[in-house]
Structure 1
Amino acid sequence: MHRSIPASRAIMAMGLLFIVGFAGGYYLNPLLSPPTVIWENDSRWRTDSISISGSTTALPIVNACAIAFMNKYSGTSITVSGGGSGRGYSEVIDGVVDIGMASRPPKQKEIDDAKKKGVALWLYPIALDAVCVVVHPSVNQTLKLTLQEVGKIFAGIYTRWSEVKPGLPDEPIYVVVREPGSGTRGTFEEYAIEPYGYTVTDSAHVRPSNPAVRTTIESTPYSIGYVGFGFVTPNMVVVALAEEEGKPYIYPTVESIASFKYPISRYLYLVTSTRPESGSLTDRFIDFILSPEGQEIVEEQGFLKLPKYPPGG
């Protein structure tokens, strides 16, 4: 079957080789090198406050960075909450928060909503991640699936593990998914559901966050779900994925995600409704996450820091 290239994969293929680019209705604004922090002694922003909401995948990174930033620069106030990428986009567009967190590019409806309100979305990649398909150890200690096989499981075409692969248990499959609006769910469906014309089965068990999916998979025999790379634990089995039959099966690792060889690799983003004013707390905080100190926090939280670029890009 011919599969179209998902939009997020197209963005990855472009690479972060430009300062500012307009991509499909929003601005993608990566940096070729870490920002030069020259503002520590500027006290004008030291009593400001900002609010952030969105992706539960990016939440641990941003929350840890916010704590480190506030400890370093006393007087600043940064509040961070989850709710999913959909919430992050909608609250940035509506002016409810200063920064959104997202684990996917904006959907066309979100771009259209922003345009109607005179908002130009700006996306700042802050980390690399992957959507990892995971199963309870009762299924098997090693499991390799194509994206279409994964799609058939989540669409309810396969309902027992014995239908998926010879030798798997003759037990019902317990499917776990994220809530609608989740960026992790959106990315997963973009690769494993939509290319084949499938829809997620109505019998799937919905969970509101990565930690909730993780807990369910760890405690429920014969279950399958998906989580961000930073939420994988030894108490679950990670599935090796192949884009199609005949292609190599690849596990999500630091190397395979950084090279985008793993089929569901992605960026995590911060989102603003305009280019932040130079010198504002929003500007300072984004700079902090992109700085070497911020990128170390990204790694401490179990994610991958952004690729390094040679001098001059």
Structure 2
Amino acid sequence: MAAFALASTVLAGVAHARDQIRIVGSSTVFPYTQAVAEQYAASTGNAAPVVESTGTGGGMKIFCQGVGEDQADLTGASRAMKKSEFEACAKNGVVDVTEIQLGYDGLSIAVSRANDFDWDLTEAQIFNALAAEVEKDGQVVANPYKTWSEIDPSLPDVAIQVFGPPPTSGTRDAFVELTMHEGCATFPVLKALEGDRKNEVCSRMRQDGPFIEAGENDNLIVQRIEADPNALGIFGYSFLYENSDKLKAVKVEGIEPTFETIADFSYDIARPIFIYIKNAHRGVIPGMNEFIAEYVSDAALGPDGYLAERGLTPLSDDLRKEMQDRATGSVKMDQPQS
């Protein structure tokens, strides 16, 4: 109660001290939030929210720092909030949070359209290209592969060069879980590993050059692979969709990412994306409720909404209605299980 009273006191003067909503979080969610911010500003005449691309993990740290005028109001995430993040929020007085699933996003592997090879990679091939350690001749060894053709003779005889997100990114977390772990499980020696050692081998990306961490700005990855026809990049589907004149998708297990294959999960690397709302700031930060209403509106999240035009794979009608009710009702989320 003391923490809540302090938060209320701190927030009492916020309306006069800050007239812009502050949003942090995932680079994947960033373009959607930016689009909603622009629509909100245009329709209300209010100042556009400040939207920062900090990565999912970085956004959670900022969001969970506390309640008050100098704290973020919402954060975007390309994975669900972790139990440890929920606990960090609670420790700092952020005890009333609403979780909203926005839709689905496919993790795309893309290449420049100047590259004329018909790329189709298995999860095992992706693992062998990007893992720090791989299985070779029945042993776990440091990754020796320098070219794609060394992994499979049917692949191009060019150096492996893949630009991807850093460890603070939810896209990185999802890629490791959905692709690297699945690829790892196809190798019998790696599959037989146990405990921390198995998690380390199946999760750790190589750091000897072929995998390049390109920061939280996915547009930078787009620029890098556009400039180098032999380089591949990893980012959310929206960035591929918006740059389809310059880039093309790499198929994974024979499936290309599209709205349909992401929605029905036939494309293996698909995940839900979220925003998290700090309810203590609602009704205090000017326009926050109106911004949230715009974000969850049919005009934004619906199958014909303006976020679908930017690459968001929409929720079903029933689930979208559930999220709208959750948002307008400020429904407090439960503690995550992991």
TM-score (norm 2): 0.70
Residue correspondence of structure 1 range 1-313 to structure 2 within 5 A: 48-95=19-66, 96-120=71-95, 121-136=97-112, 141-155=117-131, 157=143, 158-195=145-182, 196=184, 197-198=201-202, 199-202=204-207, 203=209, 204-208=211-215, 209-232=217-240, 233-242=244-253, 249-274=254-279, 277=282, 281-295=287-301, 296-309=305-318
> Aligned to 1:222, what secondary structure does the other structure show?
coil
Separation in structure 2 between the aligned mates of residue 234 and residue 72 of structure 1, nearest angstrom: 31
- Residues 161, 173 of structure 1: 8 Å contact kept: yes
Deviations 1:17-63 (A, max 9, x none): xxxxxxxxxxxxxxxxxxxxxxxxxxx99x95311111111111111
- Residues 61, 297 of structure 1: 8 Å contact kept: no
Kindly name which structure, 1 or 2, has the bigger radius of gyration based on alpha carbons.
Answer: 2
> Which consecutive residues of structure 2, in runs of 5 or more, have no partner in the other structure?
1-14, 133-142, 185-200, 323-338
Separation in structure 2 between the aligned mates of residue 140 and residue 186 of structure 1, nearest angstrom: 30
- Residues 92, 272 of structure 1: 8 Å contact kept: no
Letter in 1 for 2:129: I
- Structure 1 residues 312 and 254 mapped into 2: Cα distance closer, same or farther (>3 Å)? closer
- Structure 1 residues 89 and 137 mapped into 2: Cα distance closer, same or farther (>3 Å)? same
More helix by share: 2
- Structure 1 residues 291 and 86 mapped into 2: Cα distance closer, same or farther (>3 Å)? same
Quote the offset at 1:165 in angstroms: 2.7
Separation in structure 2 between the aligned mates of residue 289 and residue 254 of structure 1, nearest angstrom: 20
Quote the offset at 1:222 in angstroms: 2.3
- Residues 74, 275 of structure 2: 8 Å contact kept: yes
> Which consecutive residues of structure 1, in runs of 5 or more, have no partner in the other structure?
1-43, 243-248
> Aligned to 1:65, what secondary structure does the other structure show?
helix
> Aligned to 1:49, what secondary structure does the other structure show?
coil
- Structure 1 residues 194 and 63 mapped into 2: Cα distance closer, same or farther (>3 Å)? same
- Structure 1 residues 267 and 310 mapped into 2: Cα distance closer, same or farther (>3 Å)? closer
Letter in 2 for 1:200: M
- Residues 140, 168 of structure 1: 8 Å contact kept: no
- Residues 258, 307 of structure 1: 8 Å contact kept: no
- Structure 1 residues 94 and 237 mapped into 2: Cα distance closer, same or farther (>3 Å)? same
Question: Once the two structures are aligned, what percentage of the paired residues are identical?
Answer: 26
Letter in 1 for 2:170: G
Letter in 1 for 2:22: S
Quote the offset at 1:88 in angstroms: 1.6
Deviations 1:220-248 (A, max 9, x none): 23222211111112433312223xxxxxx
TM-score (norm 1): 0.75
Separation in structure 1 between the aligned mates of residue 165 and residue 279 of structure 2, nearest angstrom: 29
Separation in structure 1 between the aligned mates of residue 20 and residue 86 of structure 2, nearest angstrom: 27
- Residues 217, 224 of structure 1: 8 Å contact kept: yes
- Residues 129, 304 of structure 1: 8 Å contact kept: yes
Residue 327 of structure 2 corresponds to which residue in structure 1?
Answer: none
Letter in 1 for 2:264: S
- Residues 40, 48 of structure 2: 8 Å contact kept: no
- Residues 137, 235 of structure 1: 8 Å contact kept: yes
Separation in structure 2 between the aligned mates of residue 234 and residue 267 of structure 1, nearest angstrom: 26
- Structure 1 residues 311 and 160 mapped into 2: Cα distance closer, same or farther (>3 Å)? closer
> Aligned to 1:133, what secondary structure does the other structure show?
strand
Separation in structure 2 between the aligned mates of residue 125 and residue 311 of structure 1, nearest angstrom: 8
